[in-house]
Amino acid sequence: MGGGIPAVVLNSGVKIPLIGMGTGSAPVPDDLLISSFITAMEMGYRHFDTASVYGSEASLGQAIAQALQRGFIKSRDELFITSKLWCTDGHHDRVLPALKKTLGRLQLEYIDLYLIHWPMSMKPGEVKLDFSKEDILPMDFKAVWQAMEECHRLGLVKSIGVSNFSCKKLSQLLANAKIPPAVNQVEMNPAWHQKKLRDFCKKNGIHVSAWSPLGANGAPWGSLAVMENPVLKEIAAAKGKSIAQVALRWIHQQGVSVMVKSFNKERMKANLEIFDWEFSEEELQKISQIPQYRGFSGEIFVSLDGPFKSIEDLWDEAS
């Protein structure tokens, strides 16, 4: 892995770079996506995080092909590519075909990490974010995970994992898993620490990866809980860093990998400048006192007729 970005070894034996570029964003023209990914590779980014539902896999595939052609990247093995299985394909017989479509769009023979995007299935159909509540179905974790394990055995993915799984749902998955999930990618930032979940994952050898590290400021459900936080502002001023750098460094110091998302060159560069400094115990103590607030409620997945009758059911927060 190039770029001077530290990496850790997953339980699969594969190294994951501790910072990656997220590609899930409001519709962005393909040419802008492609040029942003190429710029990121030039800057040293080696981990790219996509998903079938993001609609960015084909653009990322184009960018990888161009970067290899131009020699920014010497070989495919320098990159770490993550993608995710959408809920409509969360059925035993649809996992492998879905992965093959992802590989086709990415123009790759394998990906490094494949995640179950959410712990539920939906009626088979188009991969899209605007779905009806009637489409939401319980996921047969055992059957879907067996299909994920098969993708791994076939060499189409180097590691398999999940996203947005609670401790309870991870326990249900682990009960039947022959290959344990390598990663659980979840919302995490200084305003949403996920301490209980991280402790559970650590105990079970599952690496945690953070999405929404800056509180998704700008997303319809996002907030200023991170970017306007007085504690983070004070620490940023004292250290001569930006609030974003303070938030990203805090996540990094927890041993968690982080997905950053910016198409602005200055910010893309600044997001990589978090490795050569650290917080004092006193600063970490201050951050640990920040009021906790989940940004993405998951309300869209709650349905009286579906597997999750309430937000508490989805996240198992009362358990």
By annotation, the residues acting in catalysis are 54
Hey, which bits of the chain come out as E strands? 7-9, 15-17, 19-22, 47-49, 80-85, 111-116, 121-122, 136-137, 157-163, 183-187, 207-211, 257-260
Sign of CA dihedral 162, 168, 174, 175: negative
Would you tell me how many other CB atoms lie within 10 Å of the CB of residue 280?
A: 11
Q: CA-CA distance, 71 to 56, in Å (whole number)?
A: 22
Is residue 17 a contact partner of residue 80, using CB atoms and an 8 Å limit? Answer: yes
Q: What angle do CA 99, 103, 107 make, to 5 degrees?
A: 175
Residue 105 has φ and ψ, to the nearest 5°, of -65, -35
Residue 127 has φ and ψ, to the nearest 5°, of -85, 105
Q: CA-CA distance, 315 to 120, in Å (whole number)?
A: 12
Q: Which of 57, 55, 60 is nearest to 26 (CA)?
A: 55
Look at residue 208 and give its three-state secondary structure.
Answer: strand
Is residue 104 a contact partner of residue 150, using CB atoms and an 8 Å limit? Answer: no
> Identity (one letter) of the amino acid at 22?
G
Q: How many residues does the chain have?
A: 319
Q: Which of 139, 192, 85 is nearest to 308 (CA)?
A: 139
Sign of CA dihedral 273, 275, 279, 285: positive
